[in-house]
Amino acid sequence: MNQSILEVKGLKTSFFTDDGEVPAVDGVDFSVGEGEILGIVGESGCGKSVTSLSIMGLLPSPPGKIVGGSISFKGEDISHAKESRMRKLRGNDIAMIFQEPMTSLNPVFTIGDQLMEAIRLHNRLPKKELAARAAELLKMVGLPRAKELLKEYPHELSGGMRQRVMIAMAMSCNPKVLIADEPTTALDVTIQAQILDLMLKLNRETHTAIILITHDLGVVAQVCKRVVVMYAGKVVEEGDVKDIFNHPKHPYTEGLIRSIPDLHSKKDKLYTIKGSVPRPGSIEKGCLFAPRCEYVMDKCRTDSPELVGDSHKSRCFLHQVQE
Amino acid sequence: MSEPLLKVENLKKYYPIKNGVLGRVSETVRAVDGVSFSVNEGETLGIVGESGCGKSTTGRMIMRLIEPTEGKVSFEGKNILSLSKSDLRRVRKDIQMIFQDPFASLNPRQTVGKIIEEPMIVHGMGNHKERKQRVEELLELVGLSAYHAKRYPHQFSGGQRQRIGIARALAVRPKLIIADEPVSALDVSVQSQVLNLLQDLQKKFHLTYIFIAHDLSVVRHISNRVGVMYLGKMVEISDSEILYDHPKHPYTKALLSAVPIPDPNSRSERIILSGDVPSPAHPPAGCTFHDRCPVAMDLCAREKPVMKKLEDGRLVSCHLYD
């Protein structure tokens, strides 16, 4: 196995609101190896985006705060690093792309201005070289007529092109880790296929590790090597993508996979997970999935299961009883 | 076979772009450019396509929420486009709509009971007491509880709000429901609940659906027949089994192959289309798909293909099948 480059251990992130502390991320562990593509899946409110913001040091604070655990990048704990240190890391070592490429780009500056700014922050280059490097990056992400594009504004580009520009910006300093938070959710399927293809190509060529955060199990199955499944602020299952899809251990993962309509065959009725995701902090004891689980046992309502297993881990008593 | 419940013929919507002080029309955006299809009673017709292909505009034109530029929409034999305002209102009782965004389509200042009751008031159904009872029935029907009538939309989750939207659509006992991306704002686990609900209601009340969505798997699951739209035109329409198992139009093929399959064992070779969907203000000459089509011929750049019926009953608009 590759050496891990980013390791998250027992991460807890809470939001302090007028109604008290809301634990959005409640003890998350995972690690990413060099050049690996890790998927983090889960539904809205499971804490996947808060996890990525915590890693980047981009939590809106207040109200958000990391209250426990560690995030180590190449052995250095960055969970409470100073802003000046984070500024160096962000972009240079860890970069991020977001769901909505329109809101991540500044509408009043040209693509060239924004791309060159990103490069200049980490590499002081003469202006001519900056422009050349920017054009080169645009070519790398498969955008035609790079020279003219540098002079255009974000609104002149389509959604897919904007996301390519965001990827070019993120890749401008050859980061070791790229965090992609729902990078294709706002795009149409044919454009999504283009962007995923591009991300796979960059991963092969530059050996940048990718953390792909998404709610789309199809995207995960097609792109990732290892998968972390999150539910209500906790990791409920982790393992190789084939193990997760072929032999899901946690009832939530199983339910999620069975809920998706199949493109290749028609079922009479879809499987459903009853109920809905609990509000953070609303379940005080026991397994957080117990109220919706069809295999629920008495123990599940009182005790919290731990995440156990070697290469295929799950947080469920079903698999701990057998062991 | 009996007359279809709804028949749409050569439906068009052009938006003029006006320029200059005189407001001269400099260009036209062909949002929907000659779409024809029919829907039989009790079936579900799915309409798929990417953003900007005109699928939502088509849905709204059927109800005349958007006035069509040209074409014909007949519902139970009546041409909806030539109806007077009051006659149109009567027809709208039979055709209801469910919208995508359950946050934007419910009035935040009305209680859920009021929201569901309103269409019944508009169409003069029952007295106050009867309507109140019907609201409670409807809430139970869509999997909520009668006491929810007193609450406001913000107190509900996305999935529950979509159920409220469905209850409102059902309130006036419609025959046809046009659902425009009804599950695309929902999480997978909630999406499957709402899809099952829609299917149960269809069986129970013999409803006819037009289901507009961009998610091809969802559309296959719920539809009997599926139409694929690209740049304001219908490019292929047929029984969903035939369409999904043996797509004929190169766009349908590319669209289907682009869908990420939730199975890591089948990482298939995708057909990756280059470029973006062209602007509907300047659609390419000839076949509008020819500049992105992997199998385009010289002919495609010159001549517009027309819809042809193939042996298996499907309609396809492509020169490959001339």
- CATH classification for the domain delimited by B6-260+267-321, as one of 3.40.50.300, 3.40.605.10, 1.10.10.10, 3.50.50.60: 3.40.50.300
Given A173, A207, A222, which residue is the final one in a domain?
A173
Residue of A nearest to B52 (CA): A188
Residue A69 lies in a domain: yes
* Interatomic CA distance for residues B103 and B108, integer angstroms: 8
* Interatomic CA distance for residues B133 and A49, integer angstroms: 43
Beta bridge mates, A97: A180
Question: Who among B191, B193, B265 is closest to A242 (CB)?
Answer: B265
Any idea where the domains of chain B sit in the sequence?
6-260+267-321
Q: Do A125 and A241 fall within a single domain?
A: no
Residue of B nearest to A186 (CA): B51
Residues in chain B: 322
Q: Do A50 and A189 fall within a single domain?
A: yes
> Given CB atoms, is B269 within the 8 Å cutoff of chain A?
no
> Given CB atoms, is B103 within the 8 Å cutoff of chain A?
no
Domain that holds residue A119: 106-173
User: Average pLDDT, whole number, for chain B?
Assistant: 91
Given A149, A173, A197, which residue is the final one in a domain?
A173
Q: Which residues of chain A have pLDDT under 70?
A: 1-2, 321-323
> Given CB atoms, is A216 within the 8 Å cutoff of chain B?
yes
The candidate with the shortest Cα–Cα distance to A180, out of A151, A220, A126, is A220
Beta bridge mates, A308: A314
Give the total number of structural domains in chain A: 2
Q: Do A206 and A300 fall within a single domain?
A: yes
Question: Who among A192, A257, A272 is closest to B262 (CB)?
Answer: A257
Q: Residue B1's pLDDT is what?
A: 53
3-class secondary structure per residue, chain A: CCCEEEEEEEEEEEEEECCEEEEEEEEEEEEEECCCEEEEECCCCCCHHHHHHHHHCCCCCCCEEEEEEEEEECCEECCCCCHHHHHHHHHHCEEEECCCHHHHCCCCCCHHHHHHHHHHHHCCCCHHHHHHHHHHHHHHCCCCCHHHHCCCCHHHCCHHHHHHHHHHHHCCCCCCEEEEECCCCCCCHHHHHHHHHHHHHHHHHHCCEEEEEECCHHHHHHHCCEEEEEECCEEEEEEEHHHHHHCCCCHHHHHHHHHCCCCCCCCCCCCCCCCCCCCCCCCCCCCCCHHHCCCCCHHHHHCCCCCECCCCEECCHHHHHHC
Given A119, A138, A173, which residue is the final one in a domain?
A173
Q: Residue A127's pLDDT is what?
A: 86
Please count the other Cβ atoms lying within 10 Å of the Cβ belonging to residue A115: 26
Q: Residue A323's pLDDT is what?
A: 46
CATH of the domain at A88: 3.40.50.300
Per DSSP bridges, beta strands A76-77 and A94-97 are unpaired
Question: Which carries the bigger pLDDT value, residue B202 or residue B268?
Answer: B202
The candidate with the shortest Cα–Cα distance to B247, out of B262, B222, B264, B230, is B230
In tens, the pLDDT along B55-110 reads 999 999 999 999 999 999 999 988 999 999 989 999 999 999 998 877 788 999 99
Residue A98 lies in a domain: no
Q: Do A304 and A181 fall within a single domain?
A: yes
- Does B315 have pLDDT greater than 50? yes
Which residues in chain A have Cβ-Cβ distances shorter than 8 Å to B257?
193
In tens, the pLDDT along A37-47 reads 999 999 888 88
In tens, the pLDDT along B214-267 reads 999 999 999 999 999 999 999 999 999 999 999 999 999 999 999 988 888 877
Residue A8 lies in a domain: yes
- Helices A159-170/A127-140 angle, 10° precision: 120
Collect all residues with Cβ–Cβ distance below 8 Å to A161 and sequence separation of at least 6. Answer: A143, B276
In tens, the pLDDT along B163-222 reads 999 999 999 999 999 999 999 888 888 899 999 999 999 999 999 999 999 999 999 999
> Given CB atoms, is B264 within the 8 Å cutoff of chain A?
yes
Q: Do B264 and A261 make contact, defined as CB atoms within 8 angstroms? A: no
Q: Do B187 and A43 make contact, defined as CB atoms within 8 angstroms? A: yes
Residue A99 lies in a domain: no
Q: Complex ipTM, two decimals?
A: 0.82
* Interatomic CA distance for residues A307 and B85, integer angstroms: 63
> Given CB atoms, is B263 within the 8 Å cutoff of chain A?
yes
In tens, the pLDDT along B103-156 reads 788 999 999 999 999 999 999 998 999 999 999 999 999 999 899 999 999 988
Q: Do A86 and A179 fall within a single domain?
A: yes
